[in-house]
Amino acid sequence: MSEHETTSETLGEPTRRDFLYLTTGMAGAVGAVSVAWPFIDQMRPDASTLALGAIEVDVSSLTPGMSLTVKWRGKPVFIRNRTDDEVKAAKAVELSDLKDPIARNANIAADAPATDIDRSAGENRENWIIMVGVCTHLGCIPLGQAGDFGGWFCPCHGSHYDTAGRIRKGPAPMNLAVPTFSFVKDTVIKIG
């Protein structure tokens, strides 16, 4: 044992110096976190932004053939209770006739085909269609129940969408997007 070593240092036991190093390090870590926390906390979205993340829409008043436009994340969303004839017309369209063969439905696989069922609310609710109401050409808002295919028509540049929101004619490159949604009740749709 050298003259500067203590018995506890040679035996591997903690010394007072070890305790002081540990305590100082812990105090420094707590101080760093307390200084950094306000900067980290400010990056979280505020309550009004979180509230816009999802909305619930009562669709009990929409009989077949009626539509409703709601605002979600600053964009219009078209909700339509399609008639049986509109569903039949959309089902009759061959995928080879479509300009955009991809469903563009956030609720299913990204590469799903643009069949009527993949564009709608699903098997038991195929009459319901929910889409972001922004033309995929230049971001205009199409008119409902208009155009050559009885769906939506963007008068700005002449894009025609069918009753399933699929682009059929005009400069728009893609189908209208279907946002994430679910039926929380038979007459209430949660979007987002």
- Alpha carbon distance 32, 5 (integer Å): 34
Residue 145 dihedral angles phi and psi, to the nearest 5°: 50, 50
CA distances from 104 to 114, 122, 166 (A): 7, 14, 9
CA distances from 132 to 18, 23, 103 (A): 63, 57, 13
Is the Cα dihedral 106, 192, 179, 139 positive or negative? negative
Query: What tokens were used for 135?
Result: 């033309």
> Catalytic residue among 4, 137, 157, 160, which?
157
Instruction: Look at the block and give the residue holding tokens 């195929």.
Output: 126
CA distances from 99 to 4, 68, 128 (A): 85, 26, 22
Q: Are 188 and 57 in contact (CB under 8 A)?
A: yes
137 is catalytic: no
The residues annotated with a catalytic role in the active site are 157
